[in-house]
Amino acid sequence: MLMKKIRPWKAGDGPISIYINRRISWRITQAIIRHNLPLRPNHMSVISALVGFLAALAYILHLPVIGGILAQLSSILDGVDGELARALNMMTKSGGFLDTVLDRFVDFSIIISLTYLTALSHPNTALIYLLGLLALGGTFLCTFVHVAFRAYCGLPPTLTKIPHIASRDIRLFVIFLGSVLDFLYQTLIVLIILTYTHAILRFIDLFRNYREVELNTK
């Protein structure tokens, strides 16, 4: 395989991705290319998703530590597909679509199963399911706002001054830490705070840059 020289990270990566995940995923990518393994970007997208689904299953089986570790591993592997695509010049819109959709399925599965496990050991089951619903809504809101900002405003969200406080790498890392430390209830609260704060900051950023956005969309 002919490998194209690239940086392992890309614009829009969050801090966990840059300082932790990419240091591991890039080594995996290099090993795949070096040993000429029959793995393509779409294969890695599916593998990452399968690991994420295993994380969700671990929560259902009352194994939160394993669930958290698998969630973080899925996050790391999620970087390999893009790295392979850029290194081998195999970037496609269909591949990007597949990766994005699978990520949403994984996010949904992990948060729902995490909520289920948390509710089993909490006296106020209704409250936990409400928190899980809010965490799930905030997670999908982050993705929607990101896509809508680019589609309707014509500006890549990564070029604004909004800090990466709720990118997917951060959300899964929060789930990983909360699961390993047995802070499941607190994990849902942190996810809610991060995701909705990020969405509000994005709206503030939009109106602060109103003139530039309007000029860019004409």
| Fold classification of 15-217 (topology level) | Four Helix Bundle (Hemerythrin (Met), subunit A) (1.20.120)
d(CA 136, CA 94): 25
d(CA 60, CA 110): 10
pLDDT in tens, the chain (218 residues): 545 556 666 666 889 999 999 999 999 999 999 999 999 999 999 999 999 999 999 999 999 999 999 999 999 999 999 999 999 989 899 999 999 999 999 999 999 999 999 999 999 999 999 999 999 999 999 888 877 776 766 655 554 566 778 999 999 999 999 999 999 999 999 999 999 999 888 877 777 665 665 555 55
